[in-house]
Structure formats: C-alpha cells, structure tokens
Amino acid sequence: MKASTTLSVSALSLSIALLSGPAGAETLRLLTWGGYAPEDVVALFEEQTGHTVEVTRSNNEEMIAKLRATGGGGFDLVQPSQDRIAGPQEEFGIYKPIDMSKIDTSLFIPSMLAATQANTTVGGEVYGVPHVWGTSGLVLDTAQADMVADYTDLCSDAVAGRVSYRLKRPTLIGFAFAMGLDPFAAYGDEAAYTDIMSQVEERLIDCKPNVKTYWGGGDELMGLMRSGEVVASMAWDTGGWKLNADNPDITFVAPASGALGWVDTFALPARGQADDAAYDWINFVMQPEIAAMITAAAGNFTASDGAAAFADDALKARYEASFPPEAIDNIKWYPPVPAGLEVIEGGVLDRVKAAN
C-alpha cells in the first residue's frame, strides 16, 4: 500500500451528514468476506462514528444458509455476490430493500453501481449495491504449465496429478464456457441448464485422475502452489497475484473462454436492527482512500470511484499483466441465479465428488 493510504481521521474529509455520530451509536453486525473489513478500517470507523463493529467472516453459501435459518436475522449488513441476491430474495425473502437516498452514490463507479442495481432489483426494489469485484480463472506456474490456456486444459496429460480446483459452481460454469457452452444463456430454461450441467458433470468425472486435490480454502491452495505439488489451478485473481509476489513464474491468467467476473455487494438482512450503522459503514468504506485500504487487505479492487489512484503500484502492474484489454472485454459477468439452479448444481457436484 502507498503511504498515502495510511491516513489520520482528520485527513479523511468525511461528511458528518452521512454519519450518525456517537449520539446514534449502534453495534453493526457485519457478515462479510476475509479482507473486506480490515482492523485498521474498523478502528477508524468506530472512532469517527461511535458505532462498534462485530465482524463475522463467511462465504456465499454460508451467508445464504445463515440468513435462511434466521429468516434474515442475526446480522445488520451482509456481503453476498450480486448473483446471490435476486434468487434467494424471491425464494426466501431474506433481505430488505436499500434506501438509495441514504447512499452517497457519488462515491461509486457509475456503470458498476447501475449494473449491480439492475441485477439486484426484485419487484421494483433495489437490494444490493456494489463493493468489491474481481474474477476467477487460472492460476498457473507458467514455467511448468504454460500449455494450460483454458479451464478444460486442466484435464491435459501434461499436468496430470498436479491440478486443483474447487467443487463449487465457478468450476461448473468455467468448464461449461470452455466446452463451448453458454450456461448463462440457459439460466431461464431449466431443461437446457440441466443438459449443460450433465455434460460438465461427465467432463469433470473424466478429469478426476488429473486432480491432486479439490482445494477448500485459499491458504490451502497457496501452499499447494508454493510447494510445487500443484502447477495449474482454478482460482481467484487475487490468489495468483499474491503468489506472483513470491514467485514470478506463478500468476493469474485469464482463460481463453473468459474469466468469470463477480461483484460482492452490500445487502441488508430482512431482520437487521442497525440500518443507520449499515448505511454509515457503506458510505465510509466507499471513500477512495478507505477503499484503497480494503484493496490492500483483500487484494481486489472496489467499486469506489477514484480508489485505484491510491492502490499499490505493484498490484496495478500485476492486474495489467493478467488483463490486457481483450481479456477484460471477454470477462463473463455472473448474472443473478434463478431459483432452483443451485439444486441442479448441487446434485452435479455431489455426483462428481462421489464418482470413482
């Protein structure tokens, strides 16, 4: 991180009108991803507003499960990916609409804000605004796996036994695109989507002998890549860039069929009890200098307009090497997941895991 991102509270130029202040102090129960609420940012927020923050780290599947189990209770602000809002809201009613009058929209990249609002609108109400974005694709040891150019190349004999990926939906989606299929176009047709997933299931079962292990967490994959046990994997861009800092041969590569783009949002649980603190947190962390601090912790860029100017130069260089203009144009952005598709995907993943 550049020195300019380490700031005193007085240098942040915060708008008092957007913050509750100590008189309206609340406890914000935040359900988020690792790196999205670093300790230094939490400390600045608490000092400035008088609110306190309780951070619980999670992932998409766990967030949805927790909110379903409580009917949208237990937390005041959550950060699901944008494709995990419309479907779960229609099916389970676990979120409440966002009052856009309480959001400082000038802090957001306009196109990203508009796209996320469109993708999270249900019944004419907006349920999400963008925060952190990034992609998943290939993380390769280019000295040993430079022949891997797309997801299905992970099944090549050249990398047999030295491959890893997760048994999660990004693997299903990535393999589908690499097989010349378009799973996103089939979202509105359950029969067509089932057929695509059946083809992907067959390919993943055939590919099992190539897989060293199915990684479950980022630290596990980092260890496998650093040790050389794995030379080619599916993973997020930030993981590849972190590895590149230690070993210039390892980096993130955008697949030929397109990296898979995601946006993690801010959403309000249906039974949240500290909305004012939630809105204060959103407006606080979307300030460019604060957003750059989150980028330094999480490794991914945010939807904060102007935050890139405060990002670390080395991270920007890795980003540019992984994403020439044509690779950016080829990103496949996740649309909202219609209700019912996760059941189809879950069955495929269970059968792949159980297959000999």
Tell me whether residue 324 is in a domain.
no
Same domain membership, residue 26 and residue 9: yes
Same domain membership, residue 37 and residue 75: yes
Same domain membership, residue 129 and residue 139: no
Same domain membership, residue 8 and residue 31: yes
CB 243 within 8 A of CB 139: yes
Tell me whether residue 202 is in a domain.
yes
The closest alpha carbon to 221, from 203, 210, 236, belongs to 236
CB 78 within 8 A of CB 267: yes
Tell me whether residue 331 is in a domain.
no
Same domain membership, residue 343 and residue 218: yes
- pLDDT tops 60 at residue 10: no
Tell me whether residue 121 is in a domain.
yes
CB 76 within 8 A of CB 274: yes
- pLDDT tops 80 at residue 20: no
pLDDT in tens, 249-276: 999 999 999 999 999 999 999 999 999 9
- What is the chain's mean pLDDT, rounded? 91
Give the dihedral sign, CA 93/98/99/102. Answer: positive
Contacts of residue 52, defined as CB under 8 A and 6 or more positions apart, other chains included, come to 25, 26, 27, 28, 46
Same domain membership, residue 314 and residue 272: yes
Tell me whether residue 92 is in a domain.
yes
Same domain membership, residue 8 and residue 36: yes
The CATH number of residue 80's host domain is 3.40.190.10
Q: Where are the beta strands (DSSP E) in the chain?
A: 27-32, 52-57, 77-78, 95-96, 121-122, 125-126, 129-141, 163-164, 211-213, 232-236, 250-253, 260-266, 268-269, 332-333
Distances (CA, A) of 6 to 12, 163, 287, 289, 292: 10, 39, 13, 8, 10
Tell me whether residue 325 is in a domain.
no
Residue 28's φ and ψ, nearest 5 degrees, are -95, 115
The closest alpha carbon to 275, from 124, 75, 44, 32, belongs to 75
- pLDDT tops 60 at residue 11: no
Gyration radius of the chain's alpha carbons? 20
Same domain membership, residue 296 and residue 238: no
Same domain membership, residue 341 and residue 214: yes
Tell me whether residue 330 is in a domain.
no
- pLDDT tops 90 at residue 228: yes
Tell me whether residue 326 is in a domain.
no
Same domain membership, residue 117 and residue 150: no
Q: In total, how many domains does the chain have?
A: 2
CB 335 within 8 A of CB 193: no
The closest alpha carbon to 38, from 66, 1, 80, 74, belongs to 1
| Residues 300-311: b if buried by 16+ CB within 10 A, e if exposed | bbbbbbebbebb
- List the domain range (segments joined by +) for residue 343: 135-260+336-354
Give CA angle at 15 (49, 100), nearest 5°.
90
Same domain membership, residue 111 and residue 170: no
pLDDT in tens, 58-110: 999 999 999 999 999 999 999 999 989 998 999 999 999 999 999 999 999 98
DSSP-assigned letter for residue 206: H
Same domain membership, residue 128 and residue 9: yes
Residue 78's φ and ψ, nearest 5 degrees, are -130, 165
For position 23, what pLDDT does the model report? 55
